[in-house]
Structure formats: structure tokens, C-alpha cells
Amino acid sequence: MAFQQGLSGLNAASRNLDVIGHNIANSNTVGMKSSRAEFAEIYASSVNASGGMANGIGVAVAAVAQSFTQGNISVTGNELDVAINGNGFFELTQPNGSTAYTRAGMFKLDREGNVVTNDGSNLMGYPTDAQGNRLSFDTQPLNLPTGGPIPAQQTSAITAEFNLDTRADVWNAVTPNVPLATYGTSLVAHDAQGVEIPVAMAFRKTAANTWTVYTSGDGTAPTTASPSFTLNFNADGTLNPASITPAPTVALTSANGTFNATLDVSDVTQFGTAFAVTNLIQDGYRPGELTSLTIDEDGVVVGRYSNGESRAAGQIALVNFRNAQGLAPGSNGIWQATHASGDPLRGEPGAGNFGVLRSGALEDSNVDLTAELVNMMTAQRAYQANAQTIKTQDQVLSTLLNMR
């Protein structure tokens, strides 16, 4: 009996050393989760014929359990390195078309702009609009716009916020009159091909609480002959909305034609402070090349372009499982779903019990190297002890065989 018990102990201790050795070997592997061997007693039967407890016949490795505790986050500075801080797995589509899951966020771009792992698996994500709003929970390979430039956008709206000095003299009320350009501002708009169009506005006080706005959208300075409209202010310095109904427009002219852009001046004021422009924006832009990428905590991948624009290119998908212990580990830091793990539960980073993402960082292995070295020494002693039981049983049998 002792031979069988000792042999089972040797096998179990050897398996334990294999698990510990695997942990130690992967102590520097990104996203690796440590494992441990879990043992169980073996009995010939639960109760023998006489009603007494049966003797144990050894030990077996009942399971090799994985520890999904959080690993340390190490900053790398690589914009496509992504660490999960919390629960969840990245979803991958492998080159053979099967689905896998990983915690190793070392991603690269292939020549087609797909985000891939070192073995060529595609990182899956959710489609979004240009502002980063998720469109659906149907995952697709995450692809970044690394090809040609984004096209130009024609200016269709201009927003201006400024304060007109109520202390200014009414035109022709004093001599000499101030030049038209005394109160004015300018910005650059764009046509459909991205050609810049200088836009200028000049303001003249024509009566108490009344200003005339002269606009120019062809690169010339505004004059009294330029298109104009009137702003009327209330006694408290706020704008009378009736003076901008309907909203005024600016005629923009370039070599490619003339078009109108609406002018939003609803937040203009007239207070007793100096003339100052607080906001002046337009929605057009020239073509732009991709210059950098950023990944937000919620997984939205944002491309930044040379024209100053930013566009979302998708959102990294995360999945989780009711029983992560049921996942089947594989090479290259991946897991695959099994019947024991259940189907994947999809979500977005930072929502519910899903972790947030950290761009420019990686999750280290959660192996405690010191503990593993101590475990290795313990497993080695267990192996030696089981070998000793076999040796002792052999000596007992030798003694019996040598009796005279």
C-alpha cells in the first residue's frame, strides 16, 4: 500500500513543482495570472465492509486553480499599451477566426490600421460616432484611420461672444469720430476644400444701446458698405433677442465659390467694461493627417490630427465571466471560454463591475516571486518525503524477504 501512496505523492509533488516552475518562469510576463495546484485525498471506498473508515491510498491533484488578482500597473509610455485596472478581459479574434480573451494589452498596428496582438489577433471594439458615443454592443475589429487625411469641412456656423463697452461714444456725437476698426475682431473660416477664408467683423455704436455690426468674408477689411445688421441691448446690458431673429449670416467667398455661414451672437453683452472678445469659434477645418492616438479610461480611442481636430475611432470592448476559473488558459497569454466559464458578458470600461483602462501602461504578472520560491522549497521537501516512504517500504520488504 505504501508504494502506491508514495507514488501518488511523488506525482502530486512533481505536478506542484511544474505549476510553481511555470509561475516563476512567467513572473515577468505581461498580464499573466499565477496558478496553484490543489490536492485531494484518495480513498479506496468511503466505508469498508466492517463499518470502519477505509485507509487512504494516496493523493491526487484535484485542480490547478488560477488567481485573477490584480497585477501592478507599470507605465510604458507607448500609446497602444493598455492595462485593465479592475475586472475584465480584452476580446480577441484570432487568425483562425476563433475568439479568445487576454489581459495582456501589448497592442500594435498592422499595415491596414487594425489593432492587433503580437500573434496577429485582432482587438475587438464597439463602433462609435466621431464624438465617441457608442453605437451598438456588436463588436468588430478595432481599426484606426492611419490611411489618407481626413477631408476638410466647410464652415457652416460661427459663434462669437464679446462685450461691447457701453461707455463708448455714439458715432457722430463727438469729433473726431473713432475709426470703424476701433472695435472689431477676426477669425479664419474654411471652404469645402479646406481653403482658409479670413472673416472680419467691426462694431460701431450708432445710438444708445444700439450697435451696427459690419461683416466681411472675403479677406478684406469691413467698411460701411459691407453687409451689416443691428444689435439692440436691454437696459441691463443683455442682448434683445428680437435683434437677431432670424439669425444673421456671413457671406464667405473663396476661389471655389461663395456660401453663407450663420453667425451666433446670442451671448454678446453691453456692459461698462472694456471691449473684449471671450469666444470666437467656427466649425470648419482643413484636411488633417493623423498625428497621435489616445485611449481614454472608458476605452474610447481618439485620433488627433494635424489640423487640430480629434475624432473617435471606436471603443475597446471588455468582457467578463461568471466563473473566470472555468476559462481554459492557452499560449501567448490568452484564455478561451468553456462550458464551465459560461458565455462572455460584454460591457464597456468603467461601467458596472468592469475595470477602467490605463493607456501607456501594462499590467504586470501577479506572481509573488518570493512566495513561489518558498512554495518550491516546500514542494521539494514533499517530494523527498514521499520518496523516503517508498524507500522505507522497500527496506521493510527486504527485511521480510531476508528472514530465515
Domains contained in the chain, CATH given: 2-69+365-401 (no CATH), 73-150+289-363 (no CATH), 157-282 (2.60.98.20)
Residue 47: per-residue pLDDT: 55
Residue 21: per-residue pLDDT: 93
Q: What is the mean pLDDT of each run of 10 residues along the chain (404 residues)?
A: 79 91 93 91 65 73 90 92 94 94 92 90 93 89 80 94 94 83 94 94 94 94 92 95 91 93 95 95 91 88 88 92 92 92 92 92 93 92 87 82 75
Residue 402: per-residue pLDDT: 81
Closest C-alpha to 182, from 160, 198, 205, 166: 205
Residue 346: per-residue pLDDT: 92
Residue 19: per-residue pLDDT: 93
pTM of the model: 0.75
Q: Which amino acid is at 378?
A: T
Q: Sort strands 157-165 and 257-264 into parallel, antiparallel or unpaired.
A: parallel
Give the integer Cα–Cα distance in Å for 318 and 148: 29
Residue 357: per-residue pLDDT: 94
Could you tell me how many residues make up the chain?
404
Residue 54: per-residue pLDDT: 64
